[in-house]
Structure 1
Amino acid sequence: MRFCLLIFLFLFGFYGSSQDSSWLQTKMSVDLFYGQKVLLKPALNQSVGDIKLATFGQPMTYLGVAFSGVLSVNRKFHYPAEVTLAHLVPQGIKFNDSISGRISGFNIGFPLAGYDIFRNSRNVDLLMAVGFNTGRVRLFGDARLEQVNAYFSPYVALSPRLVIGRVAMRIKVMFDVDLTRSRWRNVWFSRSPKVDLGPMKNSGFSSSISVGWIIV
């Protein structure tokens, strides 16, 4: 929670400084978005012989907020600025008749570089970007399931964006690859025996739609 607060303080500080920066293109917006992600490899769907140990429905659903747009330093350099903060909507998971819980988490995304194909258009963008996602997935609801899986995953994304008046609409498709270890870790201060969850990689394909309000 404290880390998320720092992210929002950064965004508001950046917005304040942009009011006095002549090199910023006035296309920045605050967006609300809905997205879904499908993992490359099934997670938490394990079986031994004909006995299925866990069931978990994909895709994973995210709801979040983004500070996005295009920063124009000069005629040649256009930076696809988009910082996203998303919440993984809780979903049920069941291992057997006696062990069940829920899965949730968060994701923070940062762009590193990109290119706006329609850079000369004021109201239409087609952004190609690379960046990274970081966050964690958490199991809760049963002391035997309370574990977390953190990840760091570079991504490539394509994002068309339309601005009508002060309203910004965006569709985004993305592919990311989890570079971290796939093992689960115990939650702090939780010492009860845990179910062996097996590996989980957060690599996968995702898509989202968003609606925002131009603020700069």
Structure 2
Amino acid sequence: MDYQSSLFAESTTDSVALSPERRQLSHGAWLDVQRDWLTDPDAVFSALVADVPWRAERREMYDAVVDVPRLVHTYLAADPLPHPALAGAREALSAHYLPELGEPFVTAGCCYYRDGHDSVAWHGDTIGRGRTTDTMVAIVSVGDPRRLLLRPRGGGASIAVTMGHGDLVVMGGSCQRTWEHAVPKVAHSGPRISVQFRPLNVF
């Protein structure tokens, strides 16, 4: 099912004010969603397009090496972020989730979905500590709406969250270990960028 905006707390243009709606999933996983959270998403989107040193990756698939269908870049803990609103977002997320997470968000992985042909396959962030330890991944989306799909590992019904311009989604608890997520291809879509804030050594 798709989430609808009416299910969430009143939207805000102040990225410091966090009041997400939480959905409990199975096996100790949960999902927080807050609409229209990011300050000035138009300016953030423009800065990301212009200033991020985007790169194309290639990977082995079966007997061939293929292009990864999106552009990527990761900002490490000491790297300045390309827009002040993203630095403020990371600070606000770290403060809000510290009682549950026990540590700050430090890295920012960026993915540029240029059109509906760009996508990411089913996966969990299970390289590093996310493989064995409950953790969180906070995603801020700017640009055209795209659906984030989630499904339990090993089978079960999937859910869908349409991430719009400036929306926030946080996957927490056991979500990276017991659920998978994906952004599927679509027939028509404009550009969209996601910024994934993660704790140290979670990939």
Q: TM-score, normalised by structure 1?
A: 0.25
> Which structure has more strand as a fraction of its residues?
1
Higher relative contact order (CA 8 A, sep 6+): 2
TM-score, normalized by length of structure 2? 0.26
Greater Rg, structure 1 or structure 2? 1
